Amino acid sequence: MSENQKTTVAVIYNHYGDDVYEKIREVDPESLDFKPEYNLKVATIVEEYEAIGNALEEQGYEIKLLNIAEDIESLIELLRDDPPDVAFNLIEFYRDDPELEYMVTGLFALYGVPYTGAPPFSLALCLRKGTTKQLLVSNDVPTPRYKLLSEPKMPRRHGLHYPLIVKPAREDASSGVDQNSVVNNLKELKAKLNKVFDEHYPPILVEEFIEGRELHVSVLGNDPPQVLPIIEFDFSELPSEHPAVISYDAKWNPLVESFHRIHSVCPANLTKEVEEKVKEVTLAAYKITGCRDYARLDIRLTDDNQVFVLEVNPNPDLTEGVSFMESAEWIDLSFGETLAKIVEFALSRPLPSYPPAKPKEENAEKTELSEQSPKDIVV
């Protein structure tokens, strides 16, 4: 690459169909039965991806923005015919299935294109909450005690302590978590299990609900990874019927009250000793699960300062000013600078060296032999 040639970054995402946030913009705030604290006119999904592309462009990269729009051939054509210097991987699902995310990511490796974020194995692992928890437990990383269910049956004596939280074991972004996900007795547990099994594929995770402070702990980099300033969530303004938990609506739906009643505090007010303990647990989980470049961990801190890893989130949301980026801003990293660091992490990795493919002519004899029937082959 010449000195004047820009590094090409393909910002790759998958969006198909209507964008709910465009419709939310049409809602009159006065029509809601509560007073919203935050603007209802949040960025659309496409606008958020475009913002990432624009910020990287301002950092001096040449940008290709590609929405694969559920068409995997468009991605294959790019990687095969016009490969970028690096792919900024923002794929979260394919065919509306988050379990296909890691398979799409594997295409970058197959075509030898450097890409940002976690490798396929880590993406597949962390989407399987039960498997992740088994790995954490086996490496002495604290996580809430749990049961993994393949059917909506739970014995009265199940060995866990109430309150419990019920959630899908193979979803992300708080999907399947609502204000009724925390249960306090067997009757509530059975009712919630029936509902979750009706709406989500098994397995379903039932774990002890850790009462205390909720933290988002973001990690940036690899050698060594850096823990960014820790965020704590203030639940004090939530309606009384809503438990101190970040539900799907509280995270993503500006038309519900809980979205406007949970506030982030950064940096979290922790003693130096507790902060170091949280960082130690965070980095252990980050490394054990094979995360790379950037990640966010959801952590609970009890009143007596016990640390529990709830979830490991590789390739977390990069919306400007939210969670991961909010933490980065506290160490004077701008939106664009943080994105540029992630790009450079990917570019710094050595590409695997594969032997060149043999010409087809050299394989002709082998192909001809394979087409014979077994009885025609003399050994």
Q: What domains can be seen in the chain, in order of their start residue?
A: 8-115 (no CATH), 118-142+211-230+266-348 (3.30.470.20)
pLDDT at 348 over 50: yes
Whole-number Å distance between alpha carbons of 217 and 275: 10
Average pLDDT over residues 318-341: 96
Indicate the average pLDDT of the chain.
Answer: 92
**Residue 133 · residue 143 · CB < 8 Å:** yes
Question: What confidence tier does 353 reach under pLDDT thresholds 50, 70, 90?
Answer: low
355 prior amide bond cis, ω within 30: no
The mean per-residue pLDDT over the stretch 240-248 comes to 92
Please tell me the predicted confidence (pLDDT) of residue 326. Answer: 97
Contacts of 222 (CB under 8 A, 6+ apart): 292, 293, 345
Size of the chain, expressed as the number of residues it contains? 379
- In three-state secondary structure terms, 63 is strand
Average pLDDT over residues 111-116: 96
Nearest in space to 40 (alpha carbons), one of 50, 52, 54, 26: 26
Window from 35-39, 68-72, 208-212, 223-227 with minimum mean pLDDT: 35-39
- Identify whether the C-beta of residue 347 lies closer than 8 Å to the C-beta of residue 293: no
C-alpha to C-alpha distance for 279 and 235, rounded to whole angstroms: 23
Over residues 182-204, mean pLDDT: 95
What is the Cα gyration radius of the chain?
Answer: 23
Nearest to 307 by CA among 273, 330, 331: 273
pTM listed for this prediction: 0.90
What pLDDT shows up at residue 367?
47
pLDDT of residue 1: 56
Helices and strands counted in the chain (H then E): 12, 13
Q: What is the model's pLDDT at position 360?
A: 61
Structure tokens at 218: 């973001």
